[in-house]
Structure 1
C-alpha cells in the first residue's frame, strides 16, 4: 500500500553526516489521529498520491503512527543564539522522516513537527497545539504564494490528545516540507561540539545539496559563505517589501537554503512602523520589523565564524575574507529592497534619487499611521480617497514627485500599473483574520473560515472580489496585537 502513496524517500543527511549531527528516533504514536487539512497542490508536486494520503494510512503516517517505506527517522542536532544568547538546541519536537525525491528530481525534507519527545526536548513534551500548527500552515502557504522562499506545510492532523500549555489544548502534528533543515545553528553546533573535519564534512554536504555549482571553485567554502549571504539578502528584502515580521530570528531559525522557517510568533504589519513587534517574548524589540536586516547580518556573521578554519589556513586572512563577505550583505540587501520598492511604485529604470523617493513615502506613511499594504494598493489604482494620508500636503507634494519620476521612463502608464499589481498584493494574512480562522477551527471545530482564508490567499495578486473582505485593517485597539511561540 505504501508504494501507491508514491514515496521515493532518500536519506542523504543520515548517510553523509557523522552521528554527531543527529539521533535516530521514531515519532511517538498518538491515540486517535484525524486529518484536518491536506495541501493537495504540494502533494501532487512531490509526486504523492492524494487519494491514498486521504486514507487511514495517510493519517497514520502524518501522525507518526506508521513509518513509510524507505524512511530513516531522526532528530537533528543544532545550536543557536536565541535573543543573542548561545545554547545547544536540536529538534525537540520534530522528526525528519526522510527526503522525498520529486518527479522533477528535486529533494525535499519531510518532517513531522509535534511528533513527540526526542533526546533534544530539553524537558519539553515534544508536542504541538493545533492553533500554532494551523497558523504555520496559513502563513507558510501565503508566503509561498507571495513568491517568497519558504518551508511549506503538507498536512495537519489532530492527535486526539490534549497538551498542557497555559491551559489544556488540542494536540496536532504538522508535516513540514523544506529543501533542507540545515541552519546557521547546525554549523554553530559543529563548530562548538565537533571538529574542523566535522565542519568540513557538513560544508561539503551543504554545497553538494544546495550549491553544487560552486564545488569546483578555488575556495568553495568562501563561495558557500557568499552564496548564503546572497540568498539571505534576497529573502530579507522580500520580507520587508511584504511587511512580514518573523518575530524570532534566532540563528537556529535561519536556513542555509535561504528559505523562511519556523512561523511561531510571526505576523504581518498593518500600520507602517519600523518599530513594530508582535512577539510576546521580544520585549526589547530585538526582532522588530526595522531591525530584521541588521539581525540577518548579525546571524550571517555567526555563520562566517564557523567557517573560519576552512576559509584559509592563516587565521588572519580567513577573518579578512569573512569580514569582506559579510560587508557585502548590506549592499546586496539594499539593492534587492530598492529594486522591489521601485516595482511597488511602477518604476522600471534606475535613478539616483529613487531611494529618497521611497524613504520619503515611508516616512509620511509612518507619520500618519497609514496601512502599509493598502497604501500601495491605493497608489496602484490611484484610489487616493481611501485614506486621510492622501489629502495631506506632504503626500500631495510627494505624489507630484512620483508622477514626475514615472514620466521619465519609456514604459507606459499601463505597464507601470501592471508592474505595481504584480508587486503589491491585494491581500495579506491580516492578523485578526488569521485569529478568526484559528479560533473557529480550535474552539468550534469549524474549518470553513480557515478554508475561505486560504482560498483568498491562494493568489494574493489577483485583486478578486473574494479578497475584498480580507483587505480591511483591524479596528483600532488600546491593546497591541501579540503573538506567541506555541512551544
Structure 2
C-alpha cells in the first residue's frame, strides 16, 4: 500500500526565524529495521515506505525543517544549538484529535550541526526505540518511535566505524525550554511572543499569558519527573534543550534504569559531576523551570511584578514534585490515599534498599507477590519495616498497576544492540514484545526480570553523537 501521512503542519507557518527549511540527506541503502504499526494506525498513517523514513524521499504534504533553539548544557549556556541531526517532516492530527510532530533523527547535517555529521548509529537509535516505547507502556509521558531504518552507511565515532540508522520520532511537539531561551537571550521579543502564543495554543490553552504558561509547564514537568522516579528512570542529560514544554520525556541518549537502588546513581558518561544523578532530577527540573521563567519574564510589562510572580510559581514547584512523588510511591507500597506522614515509611524502605543494594524494580514488584524480602541482606531490618507497612497498607491492588514487573534493563539493551550490530534483530523483537505489557508480563519472559550478573553490569551509557 502506498504510504500516506495526513500532514497538517502548523510550526512551518511560523516566521523563518524559528527554523531552517531543508530536506533530509539521502542515504546509500535504506533497509527497514522496525515499524510501529499500532502507532501508525493511531496517527492515521497508511502504507509504509522505507525511503521516506530513511530521508531519501520527501512525502507529499511534508514541510521539512530543522528547528532552532539554545540551552543550558550541564549548567552552562550555549547560545545556539538547534536540530543538528534531525529534520521535522511535519505534523499530523491523530485519531484521538491530538497534534503530533513526525521527525527524522539521524537524517544528515543541518546549519545547526556544529561540525557534526548529522547522523546516528544503530545503537542509540535502537536504544531510543526500545526505551521510549517502554516508557509509553509504563504510562510515562514520552516521545515515541514510529520507525527505525538502517542506512547502509558507516558512522564514524570514537569506537571506529559503526552501522548507521535513522529513527522516526513522534512527539507532542519539539518545543523546549531552549526554544524560548534563544529568543529571550537575543532580545528578539516579537519572536518570543509569537512562540509563547503558539505554545499556549498548542499545549496549554488554559494558560493565561506568559506566566500562566510557566505555571502550566511547571505542573507537567513536576508530574513527569515524579513518574521517572517511580520507575527508576535516569534521564542522564536534563539540559534545558531536552526539557519539553509539553511535559514529555525527550532524548534517550545516555539514559538508564536503576538496577540496585542508589539515589546518587549516575550512568551518563558525560555527567562527570553527578549533576543529573537519579536523586537530583527533581532539583534540576526546578532549575530548568527557573530558566524558562527568566525568558518569559521579558514579555511582561511590569518586570518587578513579573519577577515576584514567576518566583512564586517556581518556588511552588518543589511542593508539586513532592506531592506527585508521594502519590506515585504511595501507590507502589499499596496506599490508597498517601499522606505526608507516610513519606518516612517510603523513605525508610528506600534507605534499606540503598544500604543492601536491593533491586529497585524487583523490590517493589515483590511487595505484592511476597518475594521482596529475598533481595535484602539485612532481613531483620526489612521485617521490622514490613511490620509497620502491613499495618498501614490498605490498597494491595494498587501495587499491581504501580509496580512494573519488567523494565528495559541496561544490560539487556546493550546485549540487544550487540546482536543487532551483528545482524540479529531477534533480541530487539523479544524485548519489544515483553516491554509492551510491563505490568502483566507474558509467560516465557521471566529471565528479563533478572538484574545483571556482576560481569553484565553496565557502568556507563553514552550519547551516541
What TM-score, normalized to structure 1?
Answer: 0.93
Equivalent position of 2:409 in the other structure:
430
User: What is the DSSP-based 3-state SS (H/G/I as helix, E as strand, rest coil) of the residue aligned with 1:283?
Assistant: coil
Output the CA distance in 2 between the equivalents of 1:421 and 1:105. Answer: 30
Output the CA distance in 2 between the equivalents of 1:430 and 1:370. Answer: 15
Output the CA distance in 2 between the equivalents of 1:194 and 1:18. Answer: 16
Matched, 1:252 2:241: yes
Output the CA distance in 2 between the equivalents of 1:397 and 1:377. Answer: 19
Output the CA distance in 2 between the equivalents of 1:369 and 1:115. Answer: 41
Structure 1 runs not aligned, ≥5 long: 410-415
Matched, 1:80 2:59: no
- Assess if the C-alpha contact under 8 Å between 2:335 and 2:396 holds in 1: no
Equivalent position of 2:24 in the other structure:
27
Output the CA distance in 1 between the equivalents of 2:276 and 2:301. Answer: 35
Equivalent position of 2:384 in the other structure:
397
Matched, 1:91 2:69: no
1:268-315 CA distances to partner (integer Å, 9 max, x unpaired)?
0001001100011111111100100101110110001000022x3221
- Assess if the C-alpha contact under 8 Å between 1:84 and 1:250 holds in 2: yes
- Assess if the C-alpha contact under 8 Å between 1:29 and 1:64 holds in 2: yes
Output the CA distance in 2 between the equivalents of 1:480 and 1:27. Answer: 34
Output the CA distance in 1 between the equivalents of 2:92 and 2:456. Answer: 47
User: What is the DSSP-based 3-state SS (H/G/I as helix, E as strand, rest coil) of the residue aligned with 1:99?
Assistant: strand
Output the CA distance in 2 between the equivalents of 1:331 and 1:115. Answer: 41
- Assess if the C-alpha contact under 8 Å between 2:233 and 2:255 holds in 1: yes
Equivalent position of 1:413 in the other structure:
none
The offset of 1:478, in angstroms, is 10
Equivalent position of 1:449 in the other structure:
427
Structure 2 runs not aligned, ≥5 long: none
Change (3 A) 1:384 1:202: closer
Equivalent position of 2:55 in the other structure:
64
Output the CA distance in 1 between the equivalents of 2:348 and 2:200. Answer: 41
Change (3 A) 1:352 1:280: closer
The offset of 1:222, in angstroms, is 1.5
- Greater shift, 455-464 or 349-358, is seen at 349-358
Output the CA distance in 1 between the equivalents of 2:457 and 2:152. Answer: 34
- Assess if the C-alpha contact under 8 Å between 2:326 and 2:343 holds in 1: yes
Equivalent position of 2:218 in the other structure:
229
The offset of 1:143, in angstroms, is 0.3
Could you tell me which of 348, 352, 356 is aligned with 1:368? 356
Equivalent position of 1:164 in the other structure:
156
- Greater shift, 461-470 or 115-124, is seen at 461-470
Matched, 1:419 2:398: yes
Output the CA distance in 2 between the equivalents of 1:125 and 1:363. Answer: 45
1:205-247 CA distances to partner (integer Å, 9 max, x unpaired)?
0011111233xx4xx2211110000000000000001000000
Output the CA distance in 1 between the equivalents of 2:387 and 2:438. Answer: 29
What TM-score, normalized to structure 2?
Answer: 0.97
User: What is the DSSP-based 3-state SS (H/G/I as helix, E as strand, rest coil) of the residue aligned with 1:470?
Assistant: helix
Output the CA distance in 2 between the equivalents of 1:350 and 1:141. Answer: 29
1:19-38 CA distances to partner (integer Å, 9 max, x unpaired)?
11100011001111000110
Matched, 1:187 2:180: yes
Output the CA distance in 2 between the equivalents of 1:475 and 1:350. Answer: 35
Output the CA distance in 1 between the equivalents of 2:373 and 2:305. Answer: 58
User: What is the DSSP-based 3-state SS (H/G/I as helix, E as strand, rest coil) of the residue aligned with 2:408?
Assistant: coil
User: What is the DSSP-based 3-state SS (H/G/I as helix, E as strand, rest coil) of the residue aligned with 1:461?
Assistant: coil
Equivalent position of 2:341 in the other structure:
353
User: What is the DSSP-based 3-state SS (H/G/I as helix, E as strand, rest coil) of the residue aligned with 2:374?
Assistant: coil
The offset of 1:105, in angstroms, is 2.8
Matched, 1:331 2:319: yes
Matched, 1:10 2:8: yes
Output the CA distance in 2 between the equivalents of 1:24 and 1:274. Answer: 43
Query: What is the count of residue pairs matched by the alignment?
Result: 463
